[in-house]
Amino acid sequence: MYQKSPKKKDKIGNTILSLVQGEYKRDYYLIYIILFFVNFLYQNHK
C-alpha cells in the first residue's frame, strides 16, 4: 500500500492518489503509473 509521508513530493503523490482513486478505482495500475511519472518529473526538475 502507498503510505502517507510528510515529504513534499509524497504530499503531491497523496493528493494525486486521492484524486485518481475517485475516477479509477478499478484500475489501480494507473495510480502507480501516474505516481511514477510525477515522481520522475519531480526528480528531473529539482
pLDDT at residue 17, as a whole number: 75
What are the residue ranges of helices labelled H in the chain?
Answer: 8-23, 28-44
- pLDDT tens digits along 3-36: 655 567 778 777 777 777 666 566 777 778 888 9
Calpha distance 12→1 (Å, rounded): 16
Q: Give me the phi and psi of 4, to 5 degrees please.
A: -75, 145
Confidence of residue 37 (pLDDT cuts 50, 70, 90): very high
Q: Are 24 and 46 in contact (CB under 8 A)?
A: no
pTM of the complete model: 0.36
pLDDT at residue 45, as a whole number: 77
Domain ranges for the chain = 8-44
